Chains A and B, each alone.
Chain A
Amino acid sequence: MKIRYKLAIIVLLFALVNFHTPLAFSEGLSSSELIINAKDYDGKLVTYVGEVIGDVMLRGEFAWVNISDGDNALGVWVSSSLTKEINFTGSYKLRGDNLEIAGVFHRACPEHGGDLDIHAQTLRKISSGRIVNQRLNLDKKNLSLILFGALFLIWILSLFRRR
């Protein structure tokens, strides 16, 4: 019984050591880590978290989604059915949805002309995006009015001087 128990532990440890690495990097990796150490992560399952920016570009059954973690944005190739979850994409007036992507990382994707990308297997929305309120900056408004007044005054004075 004891020998069986020990054997089970050894088999479990062996499995963990040998199979853990290629399976997945469960903790989210940053874009900089992925770009700089691209060779190490090439072909491996990675988790990446960030904000959807720009356009969701549908290409048939798949789509390109660009996801930024603040340092860089990475291209994610995802099934178009998964993009239905995306409601907001980041721009000047919008904060995009925050997504967690799990997928295979490619340093130089052979399917996409050597692009550094992630082929997503799962997509999970962590937080929803929002419309960014654009309140008028009163300091800027006042400064522009003062400058306009000064310019107007100079123009009037120059007219008088000409006469």
Chain B
Amino acid sequence: MILKPRLEDLKIIGFYLGKIILGLAFTMVIPILAGLCFGELNPTLDFLISIEISVFLGFFLLKVCNTEKDLNWMQGMIVVSLSWVVAMFLGAIPLYLSGHWKSFLDACFDAMSGFATTGLALVQDLDHLSYTHNLWRHLIMFLGGQGIVVIALSFFVRGFSGALKMYVGEARDEKILPNVVHTSRFIWLVSFVYLVLGTIALGITGISNGMKPLNSFFHGACIFMAAFDTGGFSPQSQNILYYHSVVYEIITIIIMVLGAINFKLHYHLWTGNRKEIFRNIETNTLFITVIATFSIVAVGLAQIGSYPAAVTLFRKGFYQLISGHTGTGFQTIYAQQFIADWNHLALAGVILAMALGGAICSTTGAIKMLRIGVIFKTFKEDLKRIIMPERALVIEKFHHIKEVFLEDRLVKSALVITLAYIILYGLGALVGMFYGHPFLNALFESTSAAANVGLSCGVTNVAMPAALKVTYIIQMWAGRLEFMSVFTILGFLIAVIKGK
């Protein structure tokens, strides 16, 4: 028998949702300060209105749903799931008020794309967008990459047992430190240190490339946030092509790879355990899959002769590939060139890379390296079982921070999530094809949305049907939260309707 949720459940969910909304509202202070510094009055007002609406909503929920009770697993998952939806609506308000998005749905699309660190965009006339709004576009990637709940846990929640439930609900299944609040703060520490270093590196490169100092450091900060959080937005419509610089491309590749690495691995590197990077199953799998998928892309590009010189082929092919594999979505070619200049084999290589993703407990989306590694180890174990005598005891293990035995529980979990992602990629492709796009184009864009990548072959544009926009929004949301929170909210809705 399905039990109908009680009023108490709704109150607890509403109370913690209110806390997270207030946390989100607080982050809007940053663009307001930036707007005042840059002397951009109307954009500052956009954020003032948005922060007021957010504070009002957060305050309302806290007062109406006031409770002392802690979250249980179901409530924690639902809070996380709803937080991302509410964040999308609230984050879209200043975007829509700017007048650079044709509809509120388009603004919601870009807000979800930002929070989920995807990078697909429907913004119009980006090259004339204010610094204030541009900062917000990149800031929501930085916030979403670390996790909206992680922000609340780090700065606004004093520590309660429900914290772990929300942390796990946000697709972070690994604790770096024993306490999740400390773990969240460590994630922020890593991100801030890299933010400073990355902004300086990109800023200096920008100046040496001929950009004005203010623009250069502003772009540096924005590009860092988009690269480290494997987002893919950029302050200019040409994306990374705007800079015409190989040094800029190399720096962004380094930042993208850093963003695709597990925060737990960052912790071990920071504490001096550098050998871990060579032994870890995730880094080894990433290395192998990058080589494998790049080989596919390179053969495809060589077949069609898109880039006659080997250096050019490597520069263009590898950049799009690593951008897709890390889930970033930076491009050094125009979206239409994927279709006009790349053949099916090269596109298949990029789609495969996008579908695989980076490390778990990183800022990337998609299936992720640990699961791919576990699945390969399972195949290896099964092969050994076939080859070796029946009485032989086959034990497979792998190294992920420590030696881990390959248990059925791990394999099942990896296979279920992998299957869920494959279904999500496929469903989005079906909707794309329903609206008349060829199979490969539809699959490319669907995988990009569901794996939170952001590479586009041109399907995503302001003229696409509203249903396709909504499909991609759902894919970005489900892909970022890795299904568990989404399944929980679906179950909750069924319980509301059918429960007794």
Contacts and interface: CB of A to CB of B under 8 A. Distances in A.
B341 A108 contact: yes
Q: How large is the interface on B (under 10, 10 to 19, 20 to 34, 35 or more residues)?
A: 35 or more
B415 interface: no
A36 interface: yes
B41 interface: yes
B129 interface: yes
B49 A143 contact: yes
Interface stretch (A3-11, A18-26, A97-105, A146-154): A146-154
A55 to B, nearest CB: 5
Interface in B413-428: none
28 contacts: A36-B340, A38-B341, A53-B128, A53-B237, A56-B210, A57-B243, A58-B210, A63-B210, A64-B244, A75-B238, A75-B244, A90-B127, A91-B128, A108-B308, A108-B316, A108-B341, A113-B315, A114-B309, A114-B313, A115-B241, A115-B244, A134-B41, A137-B42, A137-B45, A140-B49, A140-B97, A154-B56, A155-B59
A66 B42 contact: no
A150 B236 contact: no
Contacts of B42: 134, 136-137, 140
Contacts of A39: 340-341
A113 to B, nearest CB: 5
Given A113-B315, A151-B55, A108 B336 contact: no
Contact of B337 (A35, A57, A73, A158): A35
A127 interface: no
B311 interface: yes
A43 interface: no
Interface in A34-77: 35-39, 53-59, 63-64, 66, 68, 70, 72-73, 75
B238 A66 contact: yes
Contacts of A163: none
Nearest to B46: A140
Contacts of B295: none
B130 interface: yes
Q: Which secondary structure characterizes the binding site on chain A?
A: mixed
A39 B337 CA distance: 11
A55 B312 contact: no
Interface of A: 32, 35-39, 53-59, 63-64, 66, 68, 70, 72-73, 75, 90-93, 107-108, 110, 112-117, 134, 136-137, 140-141, 143-144, 147-148, 150-151, 154-155, 158
B238 A38 contact: no
Name the residue in A55, A107, A110, A154 with the highest tally of chain B Cβ atoms < 10 Å from its Cβ.
A55
B212 interface: yes
B41 A108 contact: no
A55 B316 contact: no
Interface of B: 40-43, 45-46, 48-49, 52-53, 55-56, 59, 63, 97, 125, 127-131, 209-212, 215, 236-238, 241-244, 246, 306-309, 311-313, 315-316, 332-334, 336-337, 340-341
Contacts of A158: 63
Nearest to A154: B59
Contact of B41 (A54, A64, A117, A136): A136
B334 A72 contact: yes
B244 A107 contact: no
A140 B309 CA distance: 54
Contacts of A57: 209-211, 243-244
A114 B56 contact: no
Contacts of B312: 108, 110, 113-114
A68 B215 contact: no
A113 B334 contact: no
Contacts of B46: 140
B48 A150 contact: no
B56 A66 contact: no
A56 B340 CA distance: 29
Q: Which 7 A-B pairs have the closest CB atoms?
A: A57-B210, A114-B312, A147-B52, A53-B127, A140-B45, A92-B130, A58-B210
A140 B125 CA distance: 21
Contacts of B56: 147, 150-151, 154
A68 B237 contact: yes
B127 A54 contact: yes
Nearest to B124: A70
Contact of B242 (A38, A66, A136): A66
Contacts of A32: 336
